Amino acid sequence: SSMAKVIASQSQSPVAVPIPVTANPDSLFGMEEDFGPGFGTGEGDGDGGGGATFFGSRRKGRNVVFIVDFSGSMESDAEGGGGTRIQALKKELVRSINSLPASMNVSVVFFSTTGWTIDTEGPNHYTKGFRGNGKVPEVNWYPASERLKGVVIEAIQKMPAKGGTNWYPPLKMAFSMSPQPNIVYLLSDGEPTDADYVLEKMEEFNPEGVPIDTIAFELPGTPAGQLLMIAEETGGKFSMIYKGKRLVGGSAEDMTSSDYD
């Protein structure tokens, strides 16, 4: 079955040391004002539900899944300076996971041509990933203990970015998890071959209407418009990281014009 396991905190697996994050990280590309330290960890919200923040997008909930673009184009230089897009993504993903309270569960679904997780056999994970048809591979939840956050972070740091861009396989994987995620982030830097299919199938794979917060990464134009539509259809929030700055609301929506294609 596609039921997911929650990895037991005490299960025996390689102990990884979490990558240290400085008290005041320079965040993405010097964007301290957008992603300050400890912003939105959700602790002390009063409902015991916890919460997460990713590239400035904050949500309350217990089960957070990051659906992140590890396609070949993520090896391009980040327009805001400071390395490549994939380096910037990994840095923010590590910061976000490190800030999760222990009461939460976390999972990461990587995607390019296919969807895969840290449990998919490497080294070229994307060649063994889920292509969107047939049996959906099991996606595990990891309780956000220090040790298991370290295991997840170590896998993220080693993960290469290769392949094309498809959104349906990773979304289908994420929404097949048990329990279902209640915080979902989808970040992409490229035009997928299957955006129309994703929108057509949305109610089928996300019948509960869980909000999907979408982030267009250095990607103005039509593909960003497709991410905006996914957010709007699910009640999620859309934002754009462009030239190292975070745009939301009208300023982000203006950048989805086909004039930018």
Helix (H) or strand (E) holding 223: helix 222-234
Helix (H) or strand (E) holding 241: strand 238-242
- pLDDT on residue 8: 62
- The three-state secondary structure class of 75 is helix
238 is a domain residue:
no
146 is a domain residue:
yes
233 is a domain residue:
no
What residue numbers bound the domain in which 131 lies? 60-198+243-256
Q: Answer for the pair 14, 28: CB distance below 8 angstroms, yes or no.
A: no
Structure token pair of residue 139: 């996606």
Structural domain total, the chain: 1
pLDDT tens string, the chain, 261 residues long: the values are 444 567 765 444 444 434 333 333 333 443 433 443 333 333 333 344 699 999 999 999 999 999 999 999 999 998 877 799 999 999 999 999 999 999 999 999 999 999 999 999 988 899 999 999 999 999 999 999 999 999 999 999 999 999 999 999 999 999 999 999 999 999 999 999 999 999 999 999 999 999 999 999 999 999 999 999 999 999 999 999 999 899 999 999 999 999 999
- pLDDT on residue 49: 63
- pLDDT on residue 81: 75
**Within 13 A of 116's CA, how many CA atoms are on the CB side?**
25
150 is a domain residue:
yes
The C-alpha atoms of residue 93 and residue 141 are separated, in whole angstroms, by: 16
Q: Answer for the pair 151, 16: CB distance below 8 angstroms, yes or no.
A: yes
Question: Tokens 């965040």 correspond to what residue?
Answer: 27
85 is a domain residue:
yes
29 is a domain residue:
no
Q: Answer for the pair 230, 236: CB distance below 8 angstroms, yes or no.
A: yes
Structure token pair of residue 39: 């912003």
Identify the CATH number of the domain in which residue 158 sits: 3.40.50.410
What number of other Cβ atoms are within 10 A of residue 49's Cβ? 17
1 is a domain residue:
no
Q: Answer for the pair 187, 96: CB distance below 8 angstroms, yes or no.
A: no
- pLDDT on residue 180: 95
Q: Answer for the pair 80, 245: CB distance below 8 angstroms, yes or no.
A: yes
Structure token pair of residue 249: 């609301």
219 is a domain residue:
no
